[in-house]
Amino acid sequence: MLRIFLAATLIDALGSGLWVPFALLFLVHGQGMSLVDAGASLTTGALLALVTGPATGAAMDRFGPRALLIAGNLVRLAAFAAYPLAHTSWQVVVVSAVAGFGDRLFWTCNAPMVARLTTGADTDRVLATQTTARFAGAGLGAVAMAVLPTITSPWAFHLLAYANAASFAVAAVLIRLLPPLSRESYVLAPGRRRHFHVKVAPSGSWRAVLGDRPFTGFCVTHMAFTLASASKFSVLPIVVRDLLHGPQWIAGTAITLGTVVVVTAQRPIVSLLARRSRTTGLIGAAALFALCFALLIPLAAVSLPVATVVILLTSLGFSVAEAMFGPTATAAAAAAAPPGAEGRASAIFQLSWGLPIALAPGLLAVLLSASNALTWSILALTCASAVPALLVLRKKLPAALREPSPAVAA
């Protein structure tokens, strides 16, 4: 059963990751929209989708994650099938809002579903594997991104959207094969299945989650990491093509290189961080993100060969930082969630992912239209601000941020 779920989520993560470096390029060069209109439309649609987050959290606490995971994949199937039909701003807003709603369904239910199917270090391994798959999807997007701009036919741009839609259909079918898990926990061991009837805590309330200031403070701080994650490669194709006037293979190579780093280094990095507190890992990731963004500030003022070297080097740093903060932050949020309100807590934590991702296209498009240096300066300062915030939160969330990863004990 765990293998079926993992296969479904890997397909899902591949599809989601694939679209990240492709969305703006698809709309600007495939659908004929301007950069600012494309970014603003994606951001507006994603912000509208965030409104559904609280409802998905409450629904998960009531019905369990399985049904909502299926629904999330079906919703995104419809959205990505409709993307090639969207040519105006309002159409992109509608389609991206539907896609964002599907994302909220999936990511709100994903971590609780993993927790019900695994135990101990297996939970961390599954989450890390999903992160790796998401980056593999981004790598595939980078390959497509490097090829498609040389093709003028619209079908070439539309093919990736249709392939993404098909992947969500396959994921929905696989999750449908799983038995309902709304009020039971299933733990799998190698070679056999063990079925445990576990008494579940009564459903919590929004007051329990929102009133937990350390938890909400962690979610707010986490937004600095997710903004960095959403920004690091999303405007790189536009920067290379329209600002540096360089060949698109530069951006494709940088994203592919970063993908290889995450895929190969995720487990070693997680193992290394398991010997230290989660605060140490998160602070290290914040500092590395800030440094890499700072290195990109003079990008428009240097020669193209120098800019290429800087882009490739920072892509390595971004990927290491991503591998450091992703599983660590998810594990910390799960440990800090109020008992009995895991679904609602997951919804709030996923909001700290969804809001920066929603804001990133519009924000970065506006900043990049004003100045390359301004864009990277703001991102560097945002990441640096997470360091003092984490030092304060470490005292208020000792079990979540000061203790080593559970993988150590396992």
pLDDT tens digits, 299-354: 888 888 999 999 999 999 998 998 888 878 887 887 787 776 777 888 888 888 77
The hierarchical CATH code for the domain 210-409 is 1.20.1250.20
Nearest CA-CA partner of 360 in 20, 80, 29, 86: 20
Give the single-character DSSP code of 21. T
- Tell me the chain's radius of gyration from C-alpha atoms: 20
The first and second tokens of residue 309, run together, are: 């070297």
Mean local confidence (pLDDT), 143-166: 70
Higher pLDDT, 396 or 403: 396
The residue type found at 215 is F
Is the pLDDT at 180 greater than 70, yes or no? Answer: no
Nearest CA-CA partner of 273 in 230, 313, 316, 321: 321
Mean local confidence (pLDDT), 44-61: 81
Of the ranges 69-73, 160-164, 310-314, which one carries the lowest mean pLDDT score? 160-164
What is residue 405's predicted lDDT score, i.e. its pLDDT? Answer: 47
Distance of CA 8 to the CA centre of its chain: 17
Mean local confidence (pLDDT), 60-72: 81
Is the pLDDT at 404 greater than 60, yes or no? Answer: no
Nearest CA-CA partner of 307 in 316, 295, 317: 295
Higher pLDDT, 25 or 91: 91
Mean pLDDT of all residues belonging to the chain = 79
The hierarchical CATH code for the domain 1-181 is 1.20.1250.20
pLDDT band at 142 (very low <50, low <70, confident <90, very high): low
Mean local confidence (pLDDT), 205-232: 86
Is the pLDDT at 244 greater than 80, yes or no? Answer: yes
pLDDT tens digits, 79-135: 999 999 988 899 999 999 999 888 888 878 877 787 677 765 566 667 777 777 766
Cα distances (Å, whole numbers) of residue 178 to 117, 123, 174, 317: 11, 18, 7, 38
What is residue 292's predicted lDDT score, i.e. its pLDDT? Answer: 94
The answer to whether 75 and 102 have CB atoms below 8 angstroms apart is yes
Predicted TM-score (pTM) of the model is: 0.69
Distance of CA 214 to the CA centre of its chain: 23
The residue type found at 398 is P
Give me the count of residues in the chain: 410
- Rounded to whole angstroms, how far apart are CA atoms 349 and 53? 10
Domain residue extents for the chain: 1-181, 210-409
The first and second tokens of residue 173, run together, are: 């079918």
Cα distances (Å, whole numbers) of residue 328 to 82, 125, 400: 35, 11, 10
Contacts of 395 (CB under 8 A, 6+ apart): none
Distance of CA 350 to the CA centre of its chain: 9
Mean local confidence (pLDDT), 176-180: 77
The residue type found at 69 is L
Q: Same CATH fold, 210-409 and 1-181?
A: yes
Cα distances (Å, whole numbers) of residue 242 to 81, 167, 248, 365: 28, 31, 10, 12
pLDDT tens digits, 184-216: 444 443 443 434 333 344 445 777 788 888 888
Contacts of 152 (CB under 8 A, 6+ apart): none
What is residue 140's predicted lDDT score, i.e. its pLDDT? Answer: 67
